[in-house]
A and B are shown apart, each in its own frame.
Chain A
Amino acid sequence: NAGVTQTPKFQVLKTGQSMTLQCAQDMNHEYMSWYRQDPGMGLRLIHYSVGAGITDQGEVPNGYNVSRSTTEDFPLRLLSAAPSQTSVYFCASRTPGAGGPDTQYFGPGTRLTVL
């Protein structure tokens, strides 16, 4: 299994540009999520999905869109990039745990800079 994969690894955008961060998992996990990581703030949840066709907002959803057309893929779209969206973005997927808390698996991250 490749686990959780993210592309691209690095991206530089100009203010106002749009782009899509790709995330895919091959573990047949129902639950997928996007986090952003900023210095001194840990990871904050942007959007999540509990299955194909179902998405919901997390803690910091503004400026981001998601969709989930397949179990495997969960892309994150920036419609009009802003410097405040400069961050490292992590995708994660979750497996149901038997009798205990679920374990989330994280991708390697995408480092985004918005100029």
Chain B
Amino acid sequence: KAGVTQTPRYLIKTRGQQVTLSCSPISGHRSVSWYQQTPGQGLQFLFEYFSETQRNKGNFPGRFSGRQFSNSRSEMNVSTLELGDSALYLCASSLGGVGANVLTFGAGSRLTVL
């Protein structure tokens, strides 16, 4: 069974640019969550999508957005990049229903903003 696939794995951008990250969940998983991981801050929740609808949103500025497609694949976009956006962005999928407690994470997309 394939795991959660995130692309690209590494990318370098400059301030002011935008970036789009992609996540393919485990087959059958309908929920996709995104997290930002930075040293000392742990995993900060960005948003969660279930059946193409954003169900939850973390405390991030509007420059961070996402969407989910009908095949459950998800993308997140960060516009007008800032140096502080440098981080590992993790995607996690789950079944998403009541009692669905297990998050399966991808390996992440490491973004460096110069």
A-B complex is real: no
Q: Which residues on A are within 8 Å of B, measured CB to CB?
A: none
